[in-house]
Structure formats: structure tokens, C-alpha cells
Structure 1
Amino acid sequence: MSIIEKAVNALSKGGGNTGADAVRGDLAGRDRSSSSTVERASGEAGSVSRTPDGESRHSAPADHGGYERTSSVSSNYVKLNFEDLRDIGILTPSVPRSAIAEEYRTIKRPLLMNIAGDDAVPPIKHGNLIMVTSALEGDGKTFTSISLAISIAMEQDKTVLFVDADTAKAEAGRILGIPSDTPGLIDVLEDNDIALSDVILHTNIEKLRILPAGDLHTHANELLASDRMRQLMIEMSERHPDRVIVFDSPPLLLTTEASVLASFMGQIVFVVSADMTPQHAVTQAIEHIGEDKMVGMVLNRARRRSNPYYYTYGEVYGYGRDRQYEYDLHGESG
């Protein structure tokens, strides 16, 4: 049985963990009795809607109250509101020593190793194209993709392009405070006169750029499967060797766009919500991913173990269905 199959099977055994017990560590300075960072974030996230004046508003649950997102967008620049992002559990560079920052250091490390390669294992082809996806809605893939992008942007030698590729919902853009009418990916695919550089947004995180979803289009699937998209992927991957491109993708079982995007990727981070995502949905979704892809599984909202030296996540990496290895992830993801 493959490592990924074992991880999928573990989802049905309860306890919210993958059963991978090899990795232990000291959670110094961390409140082990509280709910996980990402569990809290997911519970507080609520929904993001557009107000009549065009501003994004985060609709938080009762007891927290709503607040208006204050990210500012001008020309090709967006100033991210770190306080807003931190309030809903997303990693920000303003608190580099937080628990969630440590967790994403662990998530990103094997991804970056796959990009660089070493003497024993060559780098993965287009390994700097990383898609974050899930089987269904609500598993935490958008929170995971944003935090992962910010975490990689905090590296000394990497720049990051975050792509809101869930073009139907553009949830990442709403969370980041980017107006829905901001040109982006779909506009580049639809109009050959629009260059990628025309729509990329710089941010107040020095090494982070954002490519918004762009115009909502009825033929988004055809555009994402087009030769123009393939050329764009090659350009993204090869033009800047130090750049990592993180895609927030639609759920694999809800749209055909996700499968199309997966065909371009070098690595895929697959987010599963513990005790929530059905095992059959995970198995079915993985079948939508090509055999040649490096797939990492992140178990989200896992319950804490009674032993404080165990971390609350499991992550499994497999190269296709043949070459596989297992890795335990320390922490939570959203």
C-alpha cells in the first residue's frame, strides 16, 4: 500500500491525525490546551462579501463583530492589512516567531527542497509551480495557500507570485482586500495585448507579488486549458529562477478547472479537513491528479494528541505512485 493510500485510509480511523508518529518535537512556549491556530482561524473566518461601495467586508460570526477590510489598492500595488489577516489566522511577516510561522516553515521546507534538488535527487520539473487545492469547499485550501505564499516570501533567496486561480469565487482576492474588478489572470488569457506584468500587483511584503483572478468568464475552463495558459506557465516557471508561484486552485471535485491547472504543476499541496472531508472524496480527488505529480497531503483541523510532544498534523508526500516518502508536519494550516 502506498504512503498516500495509508494517509487516506487513516482519515477514516478517527482522531484527526494521519497516524504518522515518527516526528516529535518540543512545543516550547505554545498553549497546548487551546484549539489549533487554524481551527480557530477557520471558525472565525466567516464569509467575505462585497459591500455596495465596492469595499470588501469580512462577515465574522457573532461575538467577534464584522470589520471592514482596509487593504488599499492603487495602480499595480496593494497594501495588505496585516492586522486584518492576523485576526483571521493567516500568517503575516509582522509576527515572524508565531506558532503558525513555525508551522509553515515545516510545510514549505520539502517543497523548496523539491525545487532545488540535491546530489541524490534531481529537482522536479517545474517544481516552482505549486498548486494548493482540496477535494471540496471548506477544507482550508485558500487560507493554506495565502499563508504558504507569505511564508515562502519571507525566505532570503526567494520571491513569490501568488495566483488567485479560483476564478469563479476569487476568495483569496477578497481575503486580501483586492477589488473584484481588478484585472488579472483571466484578462491576460483573454487578451493577447495584456501582458502578465500589466496585472501583477506589488505588495508591502517586499518579495510577494499577486496575480488576481481577473474577469469572471463563462469560458474560464477553456482559457485555462489554452495554449496561451501553457505559455504563461512556462514563462512563470522559467523566467525568474528564484521565483516560486503558488496557485490557489478550485476544489478538484467541484470544477474541471482544477484538473486542468494540475496538469501544468510541478507540485500539488492537497488540503484535507480532519473529521470533515469524506475519505471517498479524497480518493476520488487524487485520481484527478496526474501520476507524475508530487502530491503533498496536509491534514487540517486535526485534534491535538494527549502527548504534548506530538504535533497535530500529518503531511504525506508521494512522487506519482512509485517513488514516495513520508513527512510529518508540525502544526496547523488553514
Structure 2
Amino acid sequence: MSVVEKAGANVLKAAFAKKDKKNKKDKKKRDAVDMTATRQMGEPEKIDLDFEAMSHHGFYNPQERSNQLALEMRAVKRRLLRRIGYLRSSGERQAFRTPGKQRNMILVTSTRAGEGKTFTAINLALSLALEDQIETLLIDADLSRPKIRERLGLPEAAGLHDRILDPKIDVESLGWRLIDAPLTILPEGARAERPTDLFATASAQDMWTELSTANPQRLVIIDAPPVLAATDAVMLAKYADEIVFVVEANSTPEAAVAAAVDELIDINPNVSLMLNRCQIGAGGAHYGSYEYYDRSEAASAPAGKPSSEG
């Protein structure tokens, strides 16, 4: 083959490769659109989770209800449910709520990345749904650095971002539903370039209100970005009824924690603190109201048990 023929063959090869790449990209877009359209008319996809494999990475396993994680999550849930009035009788619960608020939206955030907020959000949702049989919706609202799908081994799918962009999509049909457990997982959806602007839209506000009022008995766990990494968490805080603020013990600077919490309580005063990777005595708890948190004690908290980051 001559040099000219080789050059021509290479040009054709490159052209076909480029066309093939474009066709694959177009197909991926069509599949995503088809998936969204299908779910508008249906229900969440039913899935099973590999709890045994997940437990090796520190996640809640319903078969291990007497281990340290299960015990700690019970302490967290007990105080959290008490703070939002969920443990009250139906009549008392209604009186406890303010008009237009169901007190079922729980935001999980932290000062910075890597303190365990996603780890906390996932374990909290799993424990509530699998142990207490409370209807739970887990949402990945960290659109810049979503991690819930990766942690649970789930594929890309339409989700939160898609629903906010298109209010006609039935949010209840998105995501995945666990088989034999009252837990639904709503992923982040398509990539968002400016999440803060997205969360500030009327469509977003309507969606959060819809999620809260659709089922007053359901708890909505929102995994938000770190406060000092983006303004998204502060924007989301106004939609939440309770904020669980995760702090990595003996790591996060006290001044950074104070600055992040101050930003949140300017928007929403219902902030509770949860120390992660800290060692506690038998029967102790590592979750409490921020108003009872002494910052001087945080600096002297003992180093503790490692857990997954996020």
C-alpha cells in the first residue's frame, strides 16, 4: 500500500471512529430520555442491595443488629426522631408541626468534604427503613460530588436534577425502591453546572414542598454538600426541618466548624451536631443539640473509630 493509500485509509478510519463515537453518544442521550419518559409513567425500579458486601465498607447490615454501628445509629435515631416530634402520637405530632411544615425533611451536611456526611446519611436511611420500618426517602443533593450511587453500587439514572429542570416528571417514579423494605433512593441525575442557582428556582422549592407533603409519615434524608465547599447546603437548609451537622472528631478546625454552623443557623436554627470517628464509652451517645455543644470540648475529643468518607 502506498503512502497516499495509507493516509487515505487512516483518514477514513478516523472518520468512521468519530461517527461511531457520535452515534454512541447520541444513543446514550436517547436512552436517558427514554428512561426518564418511562419513569414519568411508572414507579421506582425495584432493587436489592448487597448488605454483606456493604458491611465490609462500614455500612449498616440488617443482619448485624447488635454491632457497634447499629447501636450508635439507634442513639442517633432516638434523639433525631424526638427533635422532629416523630415519636409523638398523631394528634400531638400535628400540634407540634407549624403550618405548612411536616417536620420530616432532614438535611445531612458537614464543614468540609471527607467528614462522613454521606456515610451518615446512608446509614441513617438504612437503619430507619430496615430496623424501624419507617418509610424513608434518601436523596443525593450533592450535585457537584454525588456519592450515594457509587457507595451503593447503583448505575447512572435520571434523578433530582432532571426533576427540578422538568416539573412534569413525577419525582416519586424516579430512583430505586428496595425490595421488602420501605426505602427509596433518589440519585443526583444529570450533571448540574450551577447547583446553587438550580436550588434557588421556584421549581426546586415546589419539589421540596411536594416531597414533604406527599407523605407526612415519610422521612426525607437529604445528603447535601459541605457548607464551606459550596453555598448549596445553605440554600438547601431553608427547605429542611432538621439539620444533622457531621463533624470529624479531632480533625476539623474549631473555627471552621463555628463558621459553617453560624452560616446554617442564620437560615435554619434547627441544627444538631454529630461527631464522627470518635470513641465513646458503652451506652454513650455522640449526637446532640448544637446548643448543648461546648466548643472547648471538641478540641479535646479522643481520636476514634474510622469510618467511610463522604
* TM-score between both structures, scaled by the size of structure 2: 0.73
Measured in 1, the distance between the counterparts of 2:139 and 2:259 equals 25
Q: Is 1:195 matched with 2:170?
A: yes
The letter for the 2-side match of 1:277 is T
Match of 1:69 in 2: none
Alignment of 1:102 with 2:71, yes or no, is: yes
1:161 maps onto 2:137 in alignment: yes
- 1:66-91 residue CA offsets vs partner (Å, 9 max, x unmatched): xxxxxxxx972332111221001111
Q: Which residue number in structure 2 is paired with residue 263 of structure 1?
A: 238
Deviation at 1:315, TM superposition (A): 2.3
Matching residue within 86, 97, 106 for 1:116? 86
User: How far apart, CA to CA, are the structure 1 residues paired with 2:270 and 2:152?
Assistant: 28
SS of aligned partner of 1:91: coil
Match of 1:79 among 15, 24, 48: 48
Identical amino acids, percent of aligned pairs: 32
Structure 2 residues without counterparts, runs of 5 or longer: 1-42, 294-303
Give the corresponding residue for 1:224.
Answer: 199
- Which residue, out of 269, 278, 293, partners 1:302? 278
The answer to whether the 8 A contact 1:296-1:317 is kept is: yes
Partner of 1:169: helix, strand, or coil?
A: coil
Unaligned runs of 5+ in 1: 1-73, 319-323
197-206 or 138-147, which deviates more = 197-206
Please say which of residues 281-290 and 192-201 is displaced more in the overlay. Answer: 192-201
Does the CA contact (< 8 Å) of 1:115 and 1:128 recur in 2? no
Residue 206 of structure 1 and its aligned partner are, at CA, apart by: 1.1
Q: C-alpha displacement at 1:193, in angstroms?
A: 2.8
Distance 1:103 1:178 in 2: 26
The 10-residue stretch of structure 1 (96-105 or 276-285) with the greater mean CA deviation from structure 2: 96-105
SS at match of 1:261: helix
Distance in 1 between residues matched to 2:210 and 2:244, nearest whole Å: 22
- Aligned in 2, Cα 1:269/1:230: closer, same or farther, shift over 3 Å? same
Contact 1:166 1:250 in 2 (8 A): yes
Map residues 21-60 of structure 1 onto 2, 5 A cutoff. Answer: none
- After TM superposition, give the deviation of residue 103 of structure 1 in Å: 0.9
The higher relative CO (CA closer than 8 Å, separation ≥ 6) is in: 1
Residues 85-115 of structure 1: CA deviation (Å, up to 9, x unaligned)? 1001111222222221111011011221223
The worse-fitting range, judged by mean Cα deviation, of 158-167 and 233-242 is: 233-242
Matched residue pairs, number? 249
Pairwise CA distance, 1:197 = 2.1
C-alpha distance in structure 2 between counterparts of 1:108 and 1:205, whole Å: 21
* Higher gyration radius (CA): 2
Q: Against the structure 1 CA distance between its residues 272 and 78, is the aligned structure 2 distance closer, same or farther, given a 3 Å change threshold? A: same
Match of 2:183 among 197, 208, 211: 208
Match of 1:252 among 227, 231, 239: 227
Alpha-carbon displacement from aligned partner over 1:281-304 (angstroms, at most 9, x marks no partner) = 101101221344311101111145
The answer as to whether partners of 1:163 and 1:210 remain within 8 angstroms in 2 is: yes
In structure 1, how many angstroms separate the alpha carbons of the residues matched to 2:180 and 2:124? Answer: 13
Q: Distance in 2 between the 1:205 and 1:289 partners?
A: 36
**Which structure: greater strand fraction?**
1
Report the Cα distance in structure 2 between the residues aligned to 1:136 and 1:298, rounded to whole angstroms.
14
Tell me whether 1:315 sits opposite 2:280 in the alignment. Answer: no
Pair 1:309–1:99, CA change in 2 (3 A): closer
**Structure 1 residue 131, shift from structure 2 partner:** 0.7
The residue that corresponds to 1:136 in the other structure is 112
2:64 counterpart letter in structure 1: V
Once the two structures are superposed, what CA deviation does each residue of 1:213-256 show, in whole Å capped at 9, x if it has no partner? 10111132211111111111111111112100001111000011
**3-state SS of 2:227 partner:** coil
Change (3 A) 1:202 1:236: same
In the alignment, the residues of structure 1 paired with residue 138 and residue 86 of structure 2 have an alpha-carbon distance, to the nearest angstrom, of 19
For the 8 Å contact 1:251–1:258, the answer to whether it is kept is yes
CA–CA separation in structure 1 for the residues paired with 2:180 and 2:193: 33
Partners of 2:65 and 2:208 in 1: CA distance: 31
Q: Give 1:195 shift.
A: 1.6
Which deviates more from structure 2 when the two are superposed, residues 117-126 or residues 210-219?
117-126
